Amino acid sequence: MNIRAILTIMRKDVADAIKNQFILAFLAMPVVIALIFKLIFPADSQKLTVVAYDPDHSSLVAALQEMSNIRLLEVDSDNQLMESVRVNKAVGGLAIPPGFDASVVAKKQPELTAYLNHRQAEAKRRTFQRLVQQQVAALTPPPASIAWVDVDAPLESQAQAHSFLVENFILVLILVLPVVTVGMMIIPLLLVEEKEKHTLSFLLVSPASTTDIVVGKSLVGFIYNLAITGMVVGLNHGWKGNWDITFLALFLGSLFTVPVGLLLAVCRRNKVDRVFQVKTGI
């Protein structure tokens, strides 16, 4: 492999992607969607009232209390918690079991109960859920489990527990979107542009080997994939909690989608060549 040729191809494709308005808009789409999601469900701009029963003054409640957008009210017993959520019009409440911090350190995976007040706006409830999940994920692994309980919810939607994946389906979808779309489409789009500009033929007869061309274009797709997904993760505070697992998932996802994009580009090019041969008789 010719490292210099690979780097030259990579720099050329990176610049071409930025100059092409269509490709640039395609790359910006996941970031724009993430920004819209952040505007619809703001995490920091809403003042949230939260009720907590925390007999041993856990670090989890202390972390929430330090947040500027949290107004924390404490009650003396677990029985008062739900009623206090209603009376104070809180977005939710937390019932922390005794010895919570010690159980987390001992890796016993303690369970805490979180209440959601359905008389409050959906955006506030989602924000409260994300804050609690982020703080729990930041605990020493393995984290505690959360049992979600609805307060004053309609009977048809009453639920005693919600899984992390279901409650964050939209956020998970936004994170998966750039991994799949950018990884699988950036290389085909670059090849289409080279086909239109008639630069692909010159590239094929250059000193760079076929392997150099494949590696160079794959690196471009890989770099743009990680860059866009990194921006989306940053906008949604994805570095909090198990950030190492998040990075590993994005890295492995890119390793899978970029070769698929390269395969699609090759298939697309072969199809275009066959069509050209049929029309021209060459």
Which is more confident, 117 or 178? 117
Q: How many other C-beta atoms lie within 10 A of the C-beta of residue 99? A: 14
Q: Is the same domain home to 108 and 186?
A: no
Asked which of 105, 133, 167 is the last residue of a domain, the reply is 167
Which has the closest alpha carbon to 122: 52, 30, 176, 46? 46
Q: Are residues 117 and 195 in the same domain?
A: no
- Domain of 53, CATH number, reads 3.40.1710.10
Residue 42 lies in a domain: no
How many whole angstroms separate alpha carbon 281 and alpha carbon 28?
41
Task: Determine the structural domain holding residue 160 and report its residue range.
Answer: 48-167
Chain segment 256-276, per-residue pLDDT in tens: 888 887 777 767 655 545 544
56 plus 29 within the same structural domain? no
Does the residue 219 lie in any domain? yes
What is the Cα–Cα distance from 114 to 161, expressed in whole angstroms? 9
Across 92-96, 112-116, 273-277, least confident range: 273-277
pLDDT tens digits, residue range 132-181?
Answer: 888 888 876 667 889 988 887 765 444 444 444 444 566 677 777 778 87
Statement to judge: residues 148 and 62 lie in one domain: yes
Instruction: Provide the percentage of residues in the chain whose pLDDT is more than 70.
Output: 80
Residue 253, pLDDT > 60, answer yes
Domain boundary among 143, 167, 191: 167
- Tell me the whole-structure pTM to 2 decimals: 0.53
Measured between alpha carbons, how far is 90 from 115 in angstroms, rounded to an integer?
10
Share of the chain above pLDDT 90, in %: 16
Q: What is the pLDDT of residues 199-209, one digit of tens each?
A: 767 777 777 77
Do 155 and 142 belong together in one domain? yes
Find all residues with CB under 8 Å of 174, minimum gap 6, and list them.
Answer: 30, 33, 34, 37, 232, 236
43, part of any domain? no
Q: Supply the mean pLDDT for the chain.
A: 78
Final residue before a domain boundary, out of 167, 199, 227: 167
Which tops the pLDDT comparison, 89 or 27?
89
Is residue 245 located within the same domain as residue 185? Answer: yes
Q: Are residues 72 and 116 in the same domain?
A: yes
Higher pLDDT, 236 or 247: 247
Are residues 80 and 102 located together in one domain of the fold?
A: yes
DSSP string, the chain: --HHHHHHHHHHHHHHHHH-HHHHHHHHHHHHHHHHHHHHS-SSSS-EEEEEE-TT--HHHHHHHTSTTEEEEE-SSGGGHHHHHHHTT-SEEEEPPTTHHHHHHTT---EEEEEEETTS-HHHHHHHHHHHHHHHHTSSSSPPEEEEEEES--GGG--S---HHHHTHHHHHHHHHHHHHHHHHHHHHHHHHHHHHT-HHHHHTSSS-HHHHHHHHHHHHHHHHHHHHHHHHHHTTTTSSSHHHHHHHHHHHHHHHHHHHHHHHHHHHHHHHHHHHHHH--
The answer to whether residue 256 is domain-embedded is: yes
Do 265 and 221 share a structural domain?
A: yes
Confidence at 241, pLDDT banded by 50, 70, 90: low
Q: Is the pLDDT of residue 100 over 80?
A: yes
Count of the separate structural domains present in the chain:
2
Are residues 97 and 194 located together in one domain of the fold? no
Question: For residue 114, what are the β-bridge partners?
Answer: 94, 148
* Same domain as 156, residue 185: no
* In a shared domain, residues 137 and 150: yes
Please indicate, yes or no, if residue 69 is contained in any of the structural domains.
yes
Tell me whether residue 100 is in a domain: yes
The mean per-residue pLDDT over the stretch 28-52 comes to 76
